[in-house]
Amino acid sequence: MAANSAVQVDLIFVIAILTIMGYSINDTIIIFDRIRENMKLHGGQLTSKKLTYEKLFDDSIRQTMRRTLGTSSATILVVICMRVFGTGIMKTFAFIIGLGIVAGTFSSIFIGASFAYVIIKYIQKKH
């Protein structure tokens, strides 16, 4: 028999989800901005064999990795303190935010940039 586990969707849950979305979108924008800047910087070299899109995306992710992981780590420390010292609703909020920060950081680094790379390669094949 399946256990009945219900998640209560209240104001705190909605606030946590919106905070996670904003945090994840911010990380993704930072990575995409670095890719854009590197494309401007090395734009003429992308047509040659010296610099490929793979290298460009890899360099861009590496350049933002320290900042992204540093920001996420600092935020996780605050969330851990909220979870340990908070009560009731704060513990629930901290738990949801903590999971969201981890998921958002990984999705920004590993999914967002990879998806952009696939789209660029697809557009190149079309033309």
User: Is the per-residue pLDDT at 69 higher than 80?
Assistant: yes
User: Is the per-residue pLDDT at 31 higher than 80?
Assistant: yes
What is the 3-state secondary structure of the chain?
CCCCCCCCCCHHHHHHHHHHHHHHHHHHHHHHHHHHHHHHHCHHHHHCCCCCHHHHHHHHHHHHHHHHHHHHHHHHHHHHHHHHHCCCHHHHHHHHHHHHHHHHHHHHHHHHHHHHHHHHHHHHHHC
Per residue in 76-109, pLDDT tens? 999 999 999 998 888 888 988 898 888 888 888 8
Task: Determine the pLDDT at residue 15.
Answer: 83
Q: 59-72 burial, b for 16+ CB within 10 Å, e for fewer?
A: ebbeebeeebeebb
Q: What percent of the chain has pLDDT over 70?
A: 89
Q: Average pLDDT of 7-23? A: 80
Task: Determine the pLDDT at residue 77.
Answer: 95
CA distance 55 to 51: 6
End-to-end alpha-carbon separation of the chain, Å? Answer: 55
CA distance 98 to 72: 10
